[in-house]
Amino acid sequence: MTDPASFSSAACGASPYDELFIYYLKGCLRPENEAFGEAFIGNWEEDGYSFLFFSRPASDAISELLGRQPGLELVDSYRMPYADWQGARDISLQTERLQVFAPWQARPGGDHLGIVLDPGVVFGTGTHPTTRDCLRALEQLYAREAPATVLDLGTGTGLLALAAARLGARRTLAVDLNPLCARTAARNVRLNGLAERVLVVRGRAEAFVGLPADLVVANIHFDVMQVLLRSEGFYRKRWFVLSGLLRSEARRVLDLLAAKPVEIIEKWHHDGVWSTFYGRIG
């Protein structure tokens, strides 16, 4: 098993994503058309549109793609620094027990549990307050209990699943419907040598919420969270962390939980906008 401490500064350098070349297409790619070479970072599909990310200009490759799949339409193209897309060029996050850093960064010193994270073009580096609060919730929980099995629904880059594993979870299932998120999370699991303890699958959170687990983590869209909270499977867990909630959504989540056998242990609110809840069931 690989320890993140083995990533030495000699192996680190500048981010491989200094600039992004983004091609915005109407339509979704067929799987056989996603082979673009090493400059291709990934394809983000949403609501019938595709966003293709490259580390170098790829106009010729896009022209060839449109020829192979005539149903696609190029809407626009963009060029931007990676830092503008991700919100920061480098990843360096430290909480009470965890240290998150990119594979192109030297690991900071100290006794924190290390997590190597390559987000690619997927959001979820820990810079957003909801992600940071989820990490705090996990640290609080694992300081008092030892949930062995975890469901991370809407895993994104896989950061929260990796954090649970580093803190002590023996088995974690990380789920995301977006194929780029699932591939990114799986890559981060391999980077951290945690493939024996973290499994990434692509699918709908609603389809997995009923699986047995001690802890369920959902930093996810409210539309999906409502479905999760109406599922009996959710209430067969012992612990939960819910996040990604705007103020009005947070109130509705509390309303949904009010009639259930749950206890809210901790709440985090940021700037009157984002909310996170950590609690116990039963």
> pLDDT tens digits, residue range 132-161?
999 999 999 999 999 999 999 999 999 999
Per-residue DSSP letter, 38: T
How confident is the prediction for the chain on average, in pLDDT? 89
CA 184/CA 181 separation, integer angstroms: 5
In which band, very low, low, confident or very high, does the pLDDT at 262 lie, cut at 50, 70 and 90? very high
**Spatial contact of 153 and 147, defined as CB atoms under 8 Å apart:** no
Does residue 5 have a pLDDT over 70?
Answer: no
Give me the long-range contacts of 104-108 (CB less than 8 A, separation at least 24): 104/12, 104/13, 104/14, 104/15, 104/16, 105/12, 106/7, 106/8, 106/9, 106/12, 107/4, 107/5, 107/7
* pLDDT digits 0-9 by tens, 187-212: 999 999 999 999 999 999 999 999 99
Residue closest to 243 by CA, chosen among 167, 135, 93: 135
CA 146/CA 164 separation, integer angstroms: 10
CA 132/CA 100 separation, integer angstroms: 11
* pLDDT digits 0-9 by tens, 19-55: 999 999 999 998 877 789 889 988 888 889 999 999 9
- Quick one: tokens of 22? 């983004």
**Residue 212 CB coordination number (10 Å):** 9
**Spatial contact of 108 and 99, defined as CB atoms under 8 Å apart:** yes
Is 281 exposed, middle or buried (CB count within 10 Å of its CB: 0-12, 13-18, 19+)? middle
Domain boundaries of the chain, sorted by first residue: 19-86, 118-281
Architecture of domain 19-86: 2-Layer Sandwich (3.30)
**Spatial contact of 225 and 245, defined as CB atoms under 8 Å apart:** yes
pTM of the model: 0.84
Does residue 11 have a pLDDT over 50?
Answer: no
Determine the pLDDT at residue 1. 41
Does residue 73 have a pLDDT over 50?
Answer: yes
Architecture of domain 118-281: 3-Layer(aba) Sandwich (3.40)
Is 19 exposed, middle or buried (CB count within 10 Å of its CB: 0-12, 13-18, 19+)? middle
CA angle, 214 then 136 then 140, to 5°: 55
Q: How far is CA 282 from the centre of its chain?
A: 28
Is 210 exposed, middle or buried (CB count within 10 Å of its CB: 0-12, 13-18, 19+)? middle
- Quick one: tokens of 134? 């989820």
In which band, very low, low, confident or very high, does the pLDDT at 15 lie, cut at 50, 70 and 90? low
State how beta strands 92-94 and 149-153 pair.
Answer: unpaired
In whole angstroms, how far apart are CA 183 and each of 63, 200, 256, 274? 25, 8, 33, 27
